[in-house]
């Protein structure tokens, strides 16, 4: 069974922020797979299930995402190689899409938390959100909504990413990388 985790923060004030791009993809996948909600308070997140697939949106806030992921991983006895985490990445330009297995957290607090709770060797779907002009603006930048120009591409980019995740359920990471990676989303 695969566990797909989308990172974000709970609450309507964060709904359209760059940091919540992982939640947007999970919402899209829940609709596409017709997954049903099987959340429990012990999971500290919204958990959805379809055949052979679990979809998780941690509700612990970004800095404690690993707590939610670990609870679901342990309950369902999911192996590390069967976990895919979708997250925003400021080191990639807006609408870029990359895939990798393992690696560092790059300063991303959600990934840092996951690394602390379960280790680093899970698959990652990196969604580029661009970066602010100054490093001191990062927290404010990722917690703000997408710009009007970015919003124009958001839905199609989330659909493309969801298609890549669907492909990951049946193909290798390298196959998906070669077919779905993007330098920038082009309509």
Q: Within 10 Å of residue 134's Cβ, how many Cβ atoms? A: 8
Of the candidates 181, 147, 161, which has an alpha carbon nearest to the alpha carbon of residue 23? 161
Quick one: tokens of 18?
Answer: 């760059």
Using CA atoms in the order 143, 65, 109, 181, what is the torsion angle rounded to 10 degrees? Answer: -80
- Out of 19, 87, 144, 160, the active site residue is 19
Alpha-carbon distance of 26 to 44, in angstroms, equals 16
Is 19 labeled as catalytic in the residue annotation? yes
Helices 65-76 and 109-118: crossing angle, nearest 10°? 40
Q: Which residues are catalytic?
A: 19
């Amino acid at each position: 069974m695969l566990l797909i985790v989308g990172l974000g923060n709970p609450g309507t004030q964060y709904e359209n922020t760059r940091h919540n791009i992982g939640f947007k993809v999970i919402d899209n996948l829940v609709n596409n797979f017709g997954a049903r909600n099987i959340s429990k308070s012990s999971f500290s997140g919204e958990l959805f299930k379809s055949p052979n697939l679990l979809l998780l949106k941690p509700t612990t806030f970004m800095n404690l995402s690993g707590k939610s992921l670990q609870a679901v991983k342990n309950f369902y006895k999911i192996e590390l190689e069967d976990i895919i985490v979708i997250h925003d990445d400021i080191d990639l330009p807006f609408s870029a899409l990359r895939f990798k297995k393992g690696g560092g957290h790059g300063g991303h607090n959600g990934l840092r938390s996951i690394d602390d709770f379960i280790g680093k060797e899970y698959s990652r779907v990196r969604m580029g959100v661009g970066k602010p002009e100054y490093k001191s603006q990062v927290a404010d930048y990722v917690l703000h909504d997408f710009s009007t120009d970015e919003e124009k591409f958001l839905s199609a980019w989330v659909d493309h990413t969801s298609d890549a995740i669907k492909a990951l359920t049946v193909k290798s990471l390298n196959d998906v990388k070669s077919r779905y990676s993007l330098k920038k989303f082009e309509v």
